[in-house]
Each structure stands twice: as structure tokens, then as C-alpha cells.
Chains A and B, each alone.
Chain A
Amino acid sequence: MAGFEIITNNLPVLTVVLPLMAGFLTPIVGLIDRRLPWYWVMLATFVILLTTSSNLVTVITTGTIHYHLGGWNPPFGIEYVIDLLNGFVCLIIAFIGFMVSIYSKESVKKEVPGKTTQFYTVFMLLITGLMGITITGDIFNFYVFLEISSLTAYSLISMGDRGDALVASFNYLIMGTVAASFILLGIGYLYAVTGTLNMADMHRLIPNIYESKVVLAALAFFMVGFSIKVGLFPLHAWLPDAYTHAPSTGSALIAGLMTKVGVYAMIRFMFSVFTPVFVIDMTRMTEILSWAAALAIIMGSVFAIAQSDIKRMLAYSSISQIGYILLGVGLANAIGMQGGLLHILNHALMKCALFLVAGAIFYRTGIRNLYQFQGLGRKMPVTTTVFLIAGLSMIGVPGTVGFTSKWYLALGSIDAGQWLFVVIILVSSLLNLAYFWRVFDNIWFGHPHEIEHLQRDEAPLSMLVPMVILAALCVFFGLFAYYPVHYVLEPLSEALLGIGAMP
């Protein structure tokens, strides 16, 4: 069928163009009926989920997809490249986006009243930006999408708590712009010395100019810029406020995806724009990264213990979890890299579920202080069970996703001869237990006087479904980590580190 061919041949670009069109058509859909944007966004994210799944399957079965925009061949035109790494990340983005869009119905109606259409427009554009960042093989196109995703994230955050959200969003805007400036400078430097903007072409040209100070400066700029974007420990100042004050739906989306895509970009630049030899042996950037990540793991957890606002606690926990991913990348061996990449998936599932639960509790009770959660276990049993599963997963209980990635990371650390990192992973698990136990304790074992009179008052179905699916996947991938590891992560980690052939 000719029509089907057209779609299958152009899936890479459709993955970016469809959310873009859907985002810009949302205001018109919203004009027809105020309730329609939810259905519209759900439909759009579902279609994107299908296209990204198809992309990943194609990559696994037949190899890397190259798509030349406008028929211009690289390095002159913009090229979209889908390999295992970004096929994997795109699927995570689309899946989390779909889950969050199902969830958003009631939450958005309550938290951003009168602005639902605008919210959904920005929501779709954020997904466009994230998709574009991951899918593009052109370094300047990458920057454009980075700005799209950042600007939409700022406006999504500013729709949250009155007053505080504006300040948080403004802080993020300043930090994000500083980060983007670093990245743009890095891009400019690389363009100046290589004369190309295509990532693969750059990867080919850079080994000739390893000694150039410009390349070193570019690497340093990229690392600083991305460290701000992902909220690596000493540069995390924007993150807790932004996650706390954004509307619940926005927090779940941004916490689940923004930093993951930042990490993706970091990996992409370190290993596919620069070369493994350059970042591992010559500049020892991975070693620096692994120590910074270790610091982030501990400090994020320590800060999380001190928080009483559930969303702020989860935000600090994100800082620590980003540390895990970067630790795996920084270990620079195959097992550690698999652990880090697996944690991208795992953390997206867990953290999204936790933020959705926090949003559901806030929707029903208006409470965000975790010391007031007493009796919630009886009031909202399903929601709190999801929290339990995702929380246990964060701690790393065997049988959940958190365990598998920590296991890989520990093995990777031993492989690299860094026993201290094993200790850090263990200590951090204990700290995770400490701050999640406070919540569990309040939810199930708190005993206010009126607990006997509590009625069951569960979150609406549209909220429960995505939460339960995410929790189920937390367990599923905990038990069957074989699938992502075997099909995606093993060939991917070897290709990134330059051990095996590029897929």
C-alpha cells in the first residue's frame, strides 16, 4: 500500500513533526470545546508512542536509521539519526508523555483552571522539543530543540503555585539560559575548528585535532552546560524549586524526562561527538564525572531527608538518582554503562510514578506535607500502594527496577576497581530507605484520632490507570530486566565505548 509506505519511510521526521503540529493545533481544538484538548493530546502522544516503538524495533532489527531532511545529504543538510541510544530514549519520552497525558485530565482542571488549553499546547511543544533533542543528528538543530524544550519547561513550571512558581521558573530560566549559552559556545567552538555541524562528521574529524585547546574548551563548556541542565549536584540549585512549584502534571513530565534527556545529550556528546578515547583516556572526563556523580548521590539523599514537602523531597531524590545514571556513564566500562542507561528507563518509571502519586494526593486532600499523610493508606489504598512499590523501587529492593540498575552499577564499580563507589551505592540506599520510610510510616502507621472515621476516597480513574501501569512496569522490568538489557543496552554500551562495532 502506497499510503503505508509514505508513513513508514518518514517515521523519524513524523516523530518530531506530529507533536509540533498537534501542539499548535491544540488552541483550535480548545476553541471548539474546552474538554477536547485532553483527548487530543492523549491521541497525539499515543500516535507518537506507536511511531517511536516502530523506530526502536526497526533499529533493533535492521540497524541505525538515517533520515535526510529535505533530501539534502549530510554534512550539508540536517540529518535525523536513530540508533539504539536515542531510539530507547525516544520510546521512554513517548511512553511517559502518554502516561502523563492520561493522568492530566482532572489534575490540570483543578490546578490550572481556565488555562487548560494553554497548558496542553505547552505540554505538546515540550514533548516536541525533547523528541527533537534526542532524534537529531545535527548539533545546531540539537540546540534549537534544546531551547524549545527549555522555554516550554519554563512556562509549564510558571503555571504552578501562584507566586512561588514564577520565582522558581525565573530561577530556572536564568540557570537554563546560562547552561544553553555554554552549550552554544561549545557548538560554536566545535564548528569553528571542524567546519561541520553534523555529529557523525564531527566524530570523524575530531581525532585529528585532539591537542587543540579549542576542542578542550568546547568539551569543558558542554560538560558544564549539561551539568546545569541535568542538575548535577553543585549546579542543582534551580531544580528543587522548579519541581516543587510546577503543577503536578508538569512536575511528573519534567522530572521524568527533562533531566533524562539532558543525560542523553551528555552521553551523546561525550561518546558520539567526541570520542571514547578522548573523554576516557585523554581528558579523563569520565573519571571527573563519576566522582561528581558520587557526590551528587550522597548529597541529594542527605538533602532529601531534611525535606517535609513531598515534592521537594522527590526533587532532591532526583538529584541523587541523576547521580546514579552519571556514575554508570562515568565508570566507562560496559556493565557500569548498562547500569547507567538502564537507570534512565528505571528512574523515568519510578520518579514519574512517585510524582503522579504526589499529585493525586494533592488533588484529593490538598496536602503536600508528608507529616500530614496519616491515615492515607486507608483513604487512598491504590494510590499509596503505587507509592509503596515505586518507593521500594527507589530504595532498591530486589524484584523492582531500582535493584537491577543498582546491581549493575555495583558490578560496574567492582569491575572498575572502585570499591568506594560500591560503598556509596550502599550508603545511598540506606539514606533512600531513611527518607522513604518516613513517608511509609506516616501513610500506614500514623494514628490520628479520627483515623477510624476515614472514608475511602480514591483518586479518579484517569489518574489511577497510569499510576498503576507505571508501578506494574516497575515490577515487570525488575523481574525481566533481560529484555531492555539484551536487546538494547548490551550492544549499545559496547558501541558507545567503542568496544564493539557501531550498530
Chain B
Amino acid sequence: MSRIQESVIVRTIVRIMVPFIELFALYVIMHGSGGPGGGFQGGVIFGAAIILYAMIYGIAKGKERMPDTLDKILASTGLTIYAGTGLLCLFFGGKFLQYGMVPLLPDDPAEVSALLIDAVEIGIGITVSAVMISLFFDVSPPESEEEELPAELPISTYREA
């Protein structure tokens, strides 16, 4: 338990920032098909948001928000979305990941490509963020009463906050 975790400033800012970091992650993921960005980068940012939360509010609290089971399921789902999109193209006579062959919008294969690349990026993003989070939890020491503030520390300065 470090002093940083006790600081009310850090805790408040993390609480405010986490949703924005996640939003940014979603932006980076969705931006992948048309510009710099993509599933890997966005996934890492998304994972980092949860990791930041777990670092400040404690591993136990973090695991409450992101249980191991959910993590496993997300890691698998993400890859299934990716491979499933690839295999979807096979059903319409294309090669693996040949997005243009899917007759989603018959007159605009390029637009279909962009949409399906987004699907692939989302899949990758889900897997990457789940794996990042599980990596963090795997290397973090097992802790129990993380969120309890130790009583003997001089915290009177912000107790009323």
C-alpha cells in the first residue's frame, strides 16, 4: 500500500479519467480501418484503463470489476470475432479475410471492407485488452484488504474530503 493509493487527489482523478481513457481506446480501435490506430493499440489503452483502476483502488476491487472468468471469455470471444470475420468471407466465395466479397452493400465493396475491418479491429481490441488485464493480474501479488486505509497514517489532512 503506497502513499499514492491513499491520496484522495489520485483516487478522484483516476475515477474521473477511467471512462475517458476507455472512450479514447474505443476511438483508437474504431479509427483503425482508416488511419493510424487499430485493435492492438486501442486494446492496450483499454486494458491500461482497467489496470490503472486496479492499481489505485486495489487488485481485489479491480478483480471485482473484471473477474477472471469474464477475462477468459473476452479473450476467446475477441479472437473468435476476428477469425469468424475471416471465415465469413469464405462463405461468399472469397479468400480468407477478402472482405470485399461479402455482399453486405452490393454496390460498394470498399465500404464493406472498411466495416469488416472495423469488426476485425474490435475483435483484436477485445482480445488484447483482456490479455493485458490478465497479464497484470497474473504478475500482481495476491492482496486482500487492499481498499482499507491504514489507520495509523497521517491522513487527517484530507479526512473531511
Contact = CB atoms under 8 A, between A and B. Distances in A.
Contacts of B83: 17, 20-21, 24
Given A17-B86, A20-B83, A21-B80, A71 B72 contact: no
A233 to B, nearest CB: 36
B66 to A, nearest CB: 15
B98 interface: yes
B4 interface: no
Contacts of A31: 69, 72-73
Given A17-B87, A31-B73, A69 B80 contact: no
B96 interface: yes
Contacts of B95: 10, 13, 67-71
Interface in B80-105: 80, 83, 86-87, 90-91, 93-101
Given A10-B96, A69-B96, A24 B91 contact: no
A24 B76 contact: yes
A68 B94 CA distance: 10
A6 B72 contact: no
B87 A71 contact: no
Contacts of B69: 31
A6 B90 contact: yes
A70 B97 contact: yes
A465 interface: no
Nearest to A13: B96
B79 interface: yes
A17 B96 CA distance: 9
A24 B79 CA distance: 7
Interface in B20-73: 69, 72-73
Given A6-B90, A17-B87, A31-B72, A25 B97 contact: no
B128 interface: no
Given A10-B90, A20-B79, A21-B80, A27 B72 contact: yes
B75 interface: yes
A282 interface: no
A174 interface: no
A28 interface: yes
B77 to A, nearest CB: 8
Best-surrounded residue of A9, A21, A69 (most CB of chain B within 10 A): A21
Contacts of A21: 79-80, 83
Contacts of A25: 76, 80
Contacts of B87: 17
Given A17-B87, A28-B73, A71 B98 contact: yes
Contacts of A13: 86, 95-96
A67 B94 CA distance: 11
Interface string A18-42: 0011001101100100000000000
A70 B72 contact: no
B100 A24 contact: no
Contacts of B96: 10, 13, 17, 67, 69-70
A90 to B, nearest CB: 17
Contacts of A10: 90, 95-96
Nearest to A5: B93
Contacts of A17: 83, 86-87, 96
A459 to B, nearest CB: 32
A462 to B, nearest CB: 26
A29 to B, nearest CB: 9
A71 B101 contact: yes
B124 to A, nearest CB: 12
Contact of A71 (B76, B100, B127): B100
A280 B42 CA distance: 48
Contacts of B94: 71
Nearest to B84: A21
Interface string B121-149: 00000010000000000000000000000
A71 B98 CA distance: 6
Contacts of B91: 6
A275 B69 CA distance: 51
Nearest to B86: A17
A430 to B, nearest CB: 49
Nearest to B127: A24
Nearest to B69: A31
A33 to B, nearest CB: 14
A20 B97 CA distance: 15
A351 to B, nearest CB: 32
Nearest to B99: A70
A454 B83 CA distance: 53
Contacts of B98: 70-71
A93 to B, nearest CB: 20
22 contacts: A6-B91, A10-B95, A13-B95, A13-B96, A17-B83, A17-B86, A17-B96, A20-B79, A20-B83, A21-B79, A24-B76, A24-B80, A25-B76, A27-B72, A27-B73, A28-B76, A31-B69, A31-B73, A67-B96, A69-B95, A70-B97, A71-B101
Interface of B: 69, 72-73, 75-76, 79-80, 83, 86-87, 90-91, 93-101, 127
Given A6-B90, A27-B75, 9 more contacts: A10-B90, A17-B86, A21-B79, A21-B80, A24-B76, A24-B127, A27-B76, A67-B95, A71-B94
Q: What 9 A-B pairs have minimum CB-CB distances, sorted nearest first?
A: A71-B98, A24-B79, A13-B96, A70-B97, A27-B72, A71-B95, A21-B83, A28-B76, A24-B76
